[in-house]
Amino acid sequence: MLEEKPLISTLRGKLSEVPPIWLMRQAGRYLPEYRALRANAKSFLDFCYTPQLAAEVTLQPIRRFQFDAAILFSDILVVPDALGQAVSFETGSGPKLDPLQTAEDIDRLGPFNIEKLAPVFETIDRVKTALPAPVALIGFCGAPWTVASYMIAGHGTPDQSPARLFAFQHPQAFEKLIDRLIEASISYLSRQIDAGVEVVQIFDSWAGVLPHQEFQKWSAGPISRIINALKAQRPEIPIIAFVRGADTQLPDLARTLQADAYGLDTALDPNWAVAHTPSTTVLQGNLDPLALVAGGEALSKEIDAITRAFLGRPHIFNLGHGILQQTPIEHVEALIARVRRGKISS
């Protein structure tokens, strides 16, 4: 029998001497080889929808570093694109969408045209054939709340206030939007699984701004529905829920969701998370991306504190949010070497 990949084995709850490691947004602008390919693409969406380029970019960090996982190169905003909302990415200023401003705007969204995302599934197929045996392939989507926050505002916002206001002013229309995104996310992730991803991660990057009731309604509830549907179809595929800003609501999530692991963001004390979740809960995280930019002593200290906090607990080493563009490559190398200290002497 083939040996289980380290990431999958940890996601199944197995303790390992050295945690598997990958980094959120590990394919991206901190890599010169990414910037070189990106410079030739017409637009960011074209880049995501060209399987040859997207597969190459997915593999770039795997060629350079010994990560335990590759994450599919795409974006959470391909879902609004497939729902018929115009999406573009402007260099330097992030995503731009035609904002949804009224209840009628939500009714005008099209059916979820999953065929538009066929290049993403082809990318998965290409990556699978090129991936080294121990490396797992992670697929992903944005959680409904986070994706909706871009669809309503039309761009990234510091506090997601346009979507929060819309949800208070038009609760039924907002619920309809969230329901559309739940359905779309289930089909999208299940097609990614059919195409070959071995793990999926749901990113709720902006859950932390929601008051408790709204957090339950727009973040935890929809994520739970996506996970339950996927578990009914494909119980063998592990799911990681990254609910950024879950804070004191994390233990409740770990108790109520059927995810296989929970991603911790930078702000959460890992010792607290370990103490307040069952000993079988698999946790991922949570190095501050700025410690990785800083490097040196500060980085070593943070790595060691995280390693200590998760001793005796199935743990996936990762950042607490995406890697920053200004991160020096050597610091990523130093991080992997230190996390793997037990192994590198051989």
Distance in Å, CB of 275 to ligand 1CP, minimum: 26
4 binds ligand 1CP (CB under 6 A): no
Q: Using the rule CB under 6 A, give the single segment among 71-79, 101-109, 282-290, 299-307 that binds ligand 1CP.
A: 71-79
Angle between helices 221-233 and 171-195 (to 10 degrees): 30
User: Which DSSP letter does residue 279 get?
Assistant: T
CA gap 198, 219 in Å, rounded:
24
Q: Which of residues 200-229 bind ligand 1CP (CB under 6 A)?
A: 203, 205
Residues binding ligand 1CP: what is the number (CB under 6 A)? 25
76 binds ligand 1CP (CB under 6 A): yes
Q: Which residue of the set 38, 64, 225, 234 is catalytic?
A: 38
CA gap 101, 209 in Å, rounded:
20
Query: What is the four-CA torsion angle of 286, 211, 177, 28, rounded to 10 degrees?
Result: -20
156 binds ligand 1CP (CB under 6 A): yes
26 binds ligand 1CP (CB under 6 A): yes
75 binds ligand 1CP (CB under 6 A): yes
CA gap 28, 332 in Å, rounded:
13
89 binds ligand 1CP (CB under 6 A): yes
Nearest residue to 266 via CA among 232, 239, 293: 293
Nearest residue to 202 via CA among 180, 177, 228: 228
137 binds ligand 1CP (CB under 6 A): no
Q: Which of residues 276-335 bind ligand 1CP (CB under 6 A)?
A: 322
- The two beta strands, 87-90 and 94-97, are antiparallel
Distance in Å, CB of 306 to ligand 1CP, minimum: 19
Work out which of 6, 11, 44, 151 binds ligand 1CP, going by CB under 6 A: 44
* Whole-number Cα distances in Å, 144 to 80, 91, 185, 222, 270: 11, 25, 8, 7, 26
Helix (H, G, I), strand (E, B) or coil at 298: helix
Q: Using the rule CB under 6 A, give the single segment among 68-76, 105-113, 207-215, 294-302 that binds ligand 1CP.
A: 68-76
Kindly list the residues in this chain that would bind ligand 1CP in the complex (CB under 6 A): 24-29, 38, 44, 71, 73-77, 89, 91, 94-95, 140, 142, 146, 156, 203, 205, 322
Annotated catalytic residues are 25, 29, 38, 75, 150
